[in-house]
Structure 1
């Protein structure tokens, strides 16, 4: 099958110049995969039999050449402000830490370079002269939507254990099925993930979660978060639940929108339940204070995974409040909006819905209807610009200070009282009325 893949100007320029100087050159890896799938590549990587010093010599007078990874045979050429990584064909020695090879040997044949790559769909090369070079059946795997390791999957995952997580990233991004032998090797080598830096893992994890991949297919999760194992051993003997804590967590994860911090929140919202479980004399299980315990464990997990502080704080807030029962009336919704902010309140609604949908719907349908009613009221509050925050008041702290010659804590207390008044009756949010009310409060 002949392929006519559309390379960009920079990659064409580099390959043509390499050939003019007697060397080979191909675009390789993800950019070839994407072009075959009909996707515009984010970047173009180039492989060649030309060594880094020679690449630098050939291009230094025409373009900016940066020695970004000469140790591993890579230089970066900048063309029209776009970086192109040019890497010499190479064969890698033994891996010392499931990531870095002990040594890199430059090779004169493309086949050696393709043999070291992770998956068949990423082990293809192309140039306009030779066409597509596909030694491992990558095109067929793309067609059949299969993710298959190049050669021996066990060797590939031992070379770089992050490839285990990358397998799920590719499967989730392109809707691929992981081939049986590759999947078997993943299970065998899951323990190697413990050797990989969290900073590398979290980037892959974020994309997998945002691709809305089924968590029941993510064999690696309990390796990254071993605290979850206890949840699968914890049954919930209550009419509101059909599953163990772990199964409920996974079902709720699949129910929530594919937003990274929402996925994390569902993964962790009930993780403290096994530690607070009690059973009454009727045999019914209870999990009092589980939200607080879950928050404590979540903080440990999120720090260990090196989740950024902003995301970590948002997730902890959602875990803490996920089981709070708020009344479905405007005043209480305004109180929650004021306490959490509109953005966090919207997230909490999503968490609450996912949580309820993963329970016994025979008993939680009423709760879902109530939450959806809360959404309607919240949207009405926002649409009408009804007051739920001190910032929306028609007076400021400075107004209170000047008018009544008070300061500090008293100003804050007066503003909070005025906010309560306006949350009950939005029509009272007028400067003259508020100052009159403030005069009563100051007295």
Structure 2
């Protein structure tokens, strides 16, 4: 049974066993047999493997085996990032992020694929420093194809993809920054992204690792904000769409008015009906 190879890697990742030379040699020689295993069975073993306490070593040593059914990961191997922020190649960094991530299926999958598009978005600037513009978006696209191919549920895709899409987006310990992210992402995605950013941070060049205190500050500010009638959708505005229509805002004007009010409240305007009406009258 070719699936035994994945089970073997899962045991290495979860129990910390080491594989003897002969078994390891056979594993690499026969790895192509994994192509005969159904995606659904591979999916189950992959997810269990990612939960292991020793997953980092398995990812860095057995990427060729995983690459049989996840060929998209192979370009990350030995790809030097050529940036002061990263002292590890993309795959080593990825393995470290997985190990540092929250021990749950969705965060671990997001960690595994969060930088998968970096090799395709890479360029060197005039100072020979590497950049990866848009790699979050492109990584999410590649990940969506992988998750579909392996038969992950739409629910799992919906949880994993936003983490990857937004993992490189800055979240500052400032009320406006936090309010905007919570509005556009929603609380669940916000805290998922924050957790991935924490793990990502720990796998960087040591000189550029941010303190846990910085992430804790953002988390505490976000949780405090959520306790005080936060603006998480247009429905949370003190001035409803129906009331705006009664004031003469219809069609495109209604959408523009809602957008103005949302941005104003997110940047500090008090969410009170009279104040919102006054704001609109002064900002026609």
| Both structures adopt the same fold (TM-score exceeding 0.5) | yes
- Aligned with 2:68: secondary structure? helix
Q: Deviations over 1:7-39 (max 9, x none)?
A: xxxxxxxxxxxxxxxxxxxxxxxxxxxxxxxxx
**In the alignment, does 2:123 pair up with 1:278?**
yes
1:351 is displaced (CA, Å) by 1.2
TM-score (norm 2): 0.85
- The residue aligned with 2:73 is 228
Which of residues 189, 199, 202 is equivalent to 2:30?
189
TM-score (norm 1): 0.57
**In the alignment, does 2:243 pair up with 1:399?**
yes
Which of residues 257, 270, 276 is equivalent to 1:434?
276
Moved more, 235-244 or 281-290: 281-290
- The residue aligned with 1:177 is 17
- Aligned with 1:217: secondary structure? helix
- The residue aligned with 2:152 is 307
Q: Deviations over 1:243-291 (max 9, x none)?
A: 1111111111111112222112211121222223223444332323333
Distance in 2, Cα, partners of 1:329 & 1:179: 49
**In the alignment, does 2:55 pair up with 1:214?**
yes
Residues 421 and 238 of structure 1, relative CA distance in 2, 3 Å threshold? closer
Equivalent pair of 2:47/2:109 in contact (CA under 8 Å): no
Q: Deviations over 1:128-184 (max 9, x none)?
A: xxxxxxxxxxxxxxxxxxxxxxxxxxxxxxxx22222233445556x3626536555
- The residue aligned with 2:216 is 372
Residues 178 and 391 of structure 1, relative CA distance in 2, 3 Å threshold? farther
Distance in 1, Cα, partners of 2:128 & 2:167: 25
Distance in 1, Cα, partners of 2:54 & 2:160: 19
Equivalent pair of 1:167/1:178 in contact (CA under 8 Å): no
1:378 is displaced (CA, Å) by 0.9
- Which structure's residues are more often helix, by fraction? 2
Bigger Rg, structure 1 or 2: 1
Aligned length: 279
Distance in 1, Cα, partners of 2:260 & 2:250: 15
Q: Aligned ranges for residues 8-19 of structure 1 at < 5 Å? A: none
**In the alignment, does 2:100 pair up with 1:255?**
yes
Higher relative contact order (CA 8 A, sep 6+): 2
1:349 is displaced (CA, Å) by 0.6
Residues 286 and 388 of structure 1, relative CA distance in 2, 3 Å threshold? same
Distance in 2, Cα, partners of 1:233 & 1:167: 24
Distance in 1, Cα, partners of 2:13 & 2:240: 50
Which of residues 396, 414, 425 is equivalent to 2:268?
425
User: RMSD over aligned Cα, in angstroms?
Assistant: 2.6
Distance in 2, Cα, partners of 1:176 & 1:377: 39
Q: Aligned ranges for residues 69-108 of structure 1 at < 5 Å? A: none
Distance in 1, Cα, partners of 2:89 & 2:12: 28
- Which structure's residues are more often strand, by fraction? 1
- The residue aligned with 1:351 is 196
